[in-house]
A = this chain, B = another copy of it.
Amino acid sequence: MDIEGFRKAGYAAVDAICDYYTNLSKRTVKAEVQPGYLIEQLPREAPSTGEDFATVAADFQSLILPGITHWQHGKFMAYFPAISTFESMIADLYATSVSNPGFNWVCSPACTELEQVTMDWMAKILGLGKEFHLEQGSGGGVILNSASEAALTAAIAARETALRELTSSEPGSTVSGGTFDVPDDLRAKYSPKLVMYGSTQTHSLGEKAALILGLSFRAVPVAAADGYALRGDALRKAIEEDVKKGLIPFYVIATVGTTSTGAVDRIDEIGQVVSEYKTISLHIDSAWAGVALALEDQRAFLRLDDINRYATSFCTNMHKWGLVAFDCSLFFVRNRKALNLALDATPAFLRSKEADTGTVIDYRNWQLALGRRFRSIKIWFVMRSYGVKGFQDHLRVGIDQCQQLSKLITASSSFEIVTPPSLSLIVFRLGGAALPADTLPAERNLLNTLLNNRLNARYDVFLTQTMLHSADQEDVFCIRIALGGRTTTMQDVEEVWAVVEEEGEAVLKEWRDQKA
């Protein structure tokens, strides 16, 4: 394709995307296809000679779009939103047009510097303390692929911090503030004893980070009475048990806005516990909720002061509720040197005169991989176009809709709210007056599983189930509605709720009929 071919195909793509958004509400949320639908329609081998691009692009419409689950649809309320805005689409296109792997400053100075600037913008918007700002403190931010990568990266830095702490007074140690100088035998001695902690509500990214690093992850129980938030006492008990066994606690993931219910762990209590152990780093996973720190009136609920006081690192995803297209995960650390020490591997071909003199940041030492996309431009375009106020207004819409939905659920005789609305997330189930008081927990779960199956079988709504584990009662199966999508209107919310009620009544009728 030559330049003029690109102009034509580019315009056509823009037009096609305009059509997509114009007609999006007429589509079902979920793809109405069965496994294998696309595999069956495509040739088993690539064509040997090139095809006309218009044909290729047309196949996106006819073959791909029918198999897309529309995360941008107003009725998408599963998982969490993964918003793409027009501003971030255009930003991403510009970035791809100058495609480069951005692993060090000289690779493209603009990539590195714009990331520095926009990460400081975001730190300020979210209210993170100066310790987390690149321009003023010893910390700073980097854009990673995902919150999973952030939790893993934080764990690696935490491990290095712990090993240095543990070995600095050991005979044979060469810790001197230099590079990787904890000797292998001391690493081998201590590493198998390292334990990380989260709660039973921690996102699977905690367990996965442990899997990847070959370390243990301990899921500390939470209680329904605490709103499924991790408490300091439970954490302390787990840590003390492990220390007695000779294990070494090194990393705690606290969640601000859990995936299941939006619970906010008690960072105040957790931070107090963690601060008693020199080997422990505290990572705050706020993948979904963290962007709401942009709202001053939510900062107490989200425990900003405690985060600023205790957190070693903090992560939130712009690519969920934050108006920036996937991927754009913000990862802030209090001590960038500790992070770099854990991740720096510099061969000759990656050296540059600027990095050697220490005048620039090489972001490859802030992440797992070498190469990286130019993602800060998405933040730059979105935050400038919306402005901080526009960003805040967007967040408030999802929160308001959730409050209104909460009233609808409360008003319903067949449903009950399981946990109070957390920002734009609400968790509910069949229950309340519709079920006799002596209905067993297992039966309640079964009824809600049946409801979930019915909802899953539909294509016009998309919600997610969750199972709540608690130390003080039996497991609770329930359903989540995650609002906050850019195109979601209150009418969408009401229509989805009507579907839930309809399916819920059907489940109850069948159940009553069976019993009768």
| Residues 66-104 of A at the B interface (beta carbon under 8 Å) | 66-72, 79, 82-90, 92-94, 96-101
- Does chain B have a CB within 8 A of A446? no
Query: Of all chain B residues, which has the CB nearest A86?
Result: B6
- A513 at the B interface (CB under 8 A): no
Q: Which of A328-375 contact B (CB under 8 A)?
A: 342-343, 345-351, 353-354, 359-360, 368-371, 373
Give the CA-CA distance A63 to B114 in the complex, in Å.
10
Contact B14 A10 (CB under 8 A): yes
Q: Is A516 positioned at the interface, with any CB of B under 8 Å from its CB?
A: no
Are B370 and A148 in contact (CB-based, < 8 A)? yes
Interface residues of A in 140-199 (CB under 8 A from B): 145-149, 152, 156, 159, 180, 184, 187-189, 191-193
Rounded to whole angstroms, the CA-CA distance of A180 and B151 in the bound complex is 21
Contacts of A467 in B (CB 8 A): 348
Q: How far is the CB of A132 from chain B (nearest CB, A)?
A: 15
Partner of A13, one of B4, B71, B94, B108: B94
Check if A3 sits within 8 Å of B31, measured CB to CB: no
Number of interface residues of A (CB under 8 A): 153
> Known contacts A345-B208, A348-B467; is A89 also within 8 Å of B100 by CB?
no
Would you call A385 and B124 a contact (CB within 8 A)? no
Check B97–A30 contact: CB distance below 8 A. no
Q: Are B109 and A385 within 8 A (Cβ)? A: no
Chain B residue numbers with a CB within 8 Å of A18 are: 3-4, 6-7, 10
Per the bound structure, the CA–CA distance linking A92 and B466 in Å amounts to 33
Does A212 count as interface, using CB distance less than 8 angstroms? yes
A449 → B minimal CB distance (Å): 11
Distance to closest chain B CB from A412 (angstroms): 23
Also in contact, A67 and B113, with CB within 8 A (given A94-B60, A101-B82): yes
Docked CA distance A68–B57 (Å): 30
Q: Are B82 and A100 in contact (CB under 8 A)?
A: yes
Point out the residue from B9, B83, B93, B354 that lies within 8 Å of A99, measured CB to CB: B83
A456: nearest residue on chain B (CB-CB)?
B353
Chain B residue nearest in CB terms to A120: B44
Q: Does A121 contact B (CB under 8 A)?
A: yes
A236 to chain B, nearest CB (A): 22
5 contacts across the A-B interface (CB closer than 8 A): A36-B113, A39-B116, A47-B387, A99-B325, A191-B191
Not counting A56-B380, A212-B213, A213-B214, a sample of 17 additional A-B residue pairs whose C-beta atoms are within 8 angstroms of each other reads A9-B86, A10-B11, A31-B109, A39-B135, A46-B125, A49-B388, A70-B98, A79-B101, A88-B96, A92-B93, A96-B326, A99-B326, A100-B326, A101-B326, A204-B345, A212-B368, A214-B214
Which 4 A-B residue pairs are closest in the complex by CB-CB distance? Answer: A67-B110, A84-B99, A10-B14, A188-B192
